[in-house]
Structure 1
Amino acid sequence: MSGKERQLTLRFLAEPADVNFGGKVHGGAVMKWIDLAAYACAAGWSGKYCITAYAGGIRFVKPIHVGSIVEVAAKVIYTGRSSMHIALDVRAGDPKNTKRYLTTHCIVIMVAVDDQGQTTDVPEWVPETPEDIELRDSAIRLMDMRKKIGEEMEAHIQS
């Protein structure tokens, strides 16, 4: 139901197929999990098909070991007309206990589209708690920073 599912957590085991040459989970696998959770969260909020418009600020804090239980938590922290800013935390740990450690954090912007691939409106998310207001304000500050970075990057685009 649109507008009702603001957050979700995907849980699964890190498999041997996810390993990199160093014996830990490959960063690309983590990024795929992030994208999956961001999509599920955005679709749950908007009730629409969503595409990834931006993934940034990805911080790989600690490695994930094969066999660990992985939790990818996604939460809407800002909505525009058709966009949803999703904060994601990846945590992992031994499946035999409940302790999880932060491995990765980032922000993903998803955009809702219609059957013709055109952007479409999403329900507005209005923060109510002080924590949610701070998350929303942080998303707005990050938007301003991305705009400035985008302007600087224009000089590096080759025609």
Structure 2
Amino acid sequence: MLGKTYESQVCSISRTLEMVGERWSLLIIRNAAFAGMTRFGEFRRSLGIATNVLQSRLDGFVEHGLMERRPSPEQPTVPEYVLTDKGSDLVPALVALTAWGDRWAAPDGPPILYRHAGCGDAVGHHLTCTTCGLMDDPTQVEAHPGPGMPEERAAVIRQRLATG
């Protein structure tokens, strides 16, 4: 069973969960990315989240470099929380999670439609092979050891892949 941290896991998913895996985290990032929210009060009102929990999440995002805390142009004593490039890089993951939710958890259809601001057309997520192009079967994705995998674990994974 996983505890509150995933230090024993050698996996980028577990490392990502350390930063954004708490219940409110992706909703805060969603509101910053798609609703343009930057102020503590906006996040609190839109989510109904406890102030201490929200402050903890925002502080964590700043600490991990997902958001930047800066003075509001209108009220310099009031901080704004703005997504950094690192935080904005979560947008494709949010779109993918939304697509999954639209398929499996939205009986009345998608509650939100993502559109390209440039042309207004639908935005989607897709698995793509760098050689073959678009993949239509997610069961064809295999996980192979990367350069950050300790060799003893990499050997076990390679053996598992070899024996099918």
Please, what TM-score do these two structures have when normalized by structure 1?
A: 0.30
Please, what TM-score do these two structures have when normalized by structure 2?
A: 0.29
Work out which structure has the larger RCO, using CA pairs closer than 8 Å and 6 or more positions apart in sequence.
1
More helix by share: 2
**Higher alpha-carbon Rg:** 2
